[in-house]
Amino acid sequence: MITTTQMKIGMTFPTRLAVFDTETTGTDVEEARIVSAFAGIMDTATGEFTDRWTWLINPGVPIPDEAAAVHGISNERAQAEGMDPKEAIYQIMQRLNTFERDSLAIVAMNAAFDFTILDRELARHWPGLRPLMQPNDKGVVLTPVVLDPMVLDRAFDRFRKGGRKLVDLCKNYGVPVEENAHDAEADCKMAGRVAVKLLHHHKLQSMSLAEVHAKTIPTHRDNSMNVVKFWKEGKGLPDATPEERQAAIKDATARAGKWPMVPRSA
């Protein structure tokens, strides 16, 4: 049977896409915790959600002020209203597994961040379960099928000037910016709508969603190494010390092509 993710985009444009996003205590995927998450199913014709699931989580560690300032979730709210992280992480994993079983591609802006941090939370709270994603015998992750607007945008328009954050992509592709940007649901709506715009690109019309996913892995590597080259030339990272710049270069090089999830350390 030919599934939704195997159909050629130009012949049968997907009518539904899954979307996923997290808000966290920080940017270090090995140490940060998930504070909230959203998953939904988007109707690609309307850009609206037909199904949605939300999680507010008590991460069990303090939420730094700078993180709370971004996503608006305070320690007091997380502790009073948040779910137990063990139960929440299991529910999120199950929801993503359901998307995969239903042959839905999952849109995630900067996917390697969200899926990696979810996998580390899974390892933290459910150490007996397998990793969130499993590489094949060639060491690449091909399922679930993931669409990453950040990687695709750089591939299509590498030399465009200006920012590359989600709100920047919205403005570039004519997608309304949600008033509550950095809320997980709002970010999912914007990312899903940008993904729909990107899927209409002429370079993708002869491909299936599964083929787009497979092609994104080397594209992520190339994009990352272009950024590394930029940093090595002393460009970007204006506030970084020489030591911080070298650490960023080392980290980006190690993670290049590790998409849509960075494997766990041995």
User: What's the structural domain count of the chain?
Assistant: 1
Domain that holds residue 181: 4-209
Q: What is the pLDDT along the chain (266 residues), one digit of tens a residue?
A: 688 999 999 999 999 999 999 999 999 999 999 999 999 999 999 999 999 999 999 999 999 999 999 999 999 999 999 999 999 999 999 999 999 999 999 999 999 999 999 999 999 999 999 999 999 999 899 999 999 999 999 999 999 998 999 999 999 999 999 988 788 999 999 999 999 999 999 999 999 999 999 999 999 999 999 999 999 999 999 999 999 999 999 999 999 999 999 999 85
Residue 248 placed within a domain: no
Q: Is residue 215 part of a domain?
A: no
Residue type, 239: D
Compute how many other C-beta atoms are within 10 angstroms of the C-beta atom of residue 41: 17
Give the integer Cα–Cα distance in Å for 12 and 229.
39
Q: Is 232 domain-assigned?
A: no
* E-strand stretches of 189-235: none
Is 256 inside a domain boundary?
A: no
Structure tokens at 55: 């999680």
What CATH number did the domain enclosing 170 receive? 3.30.420.10
- Rounded to whole angstroms, how far apart are CA atoms 168 and 165? 5
pTM over 0.85: yes
DSSP string over 79-140 = HHHPBPHHHHHHHHHHHHHHHHHTT--EE-TTHHHHHHHHHHHHHHH-TTSPPSS---TTS-
| Phi, psi for 61 (deg, rounded to 5) | -135, 160
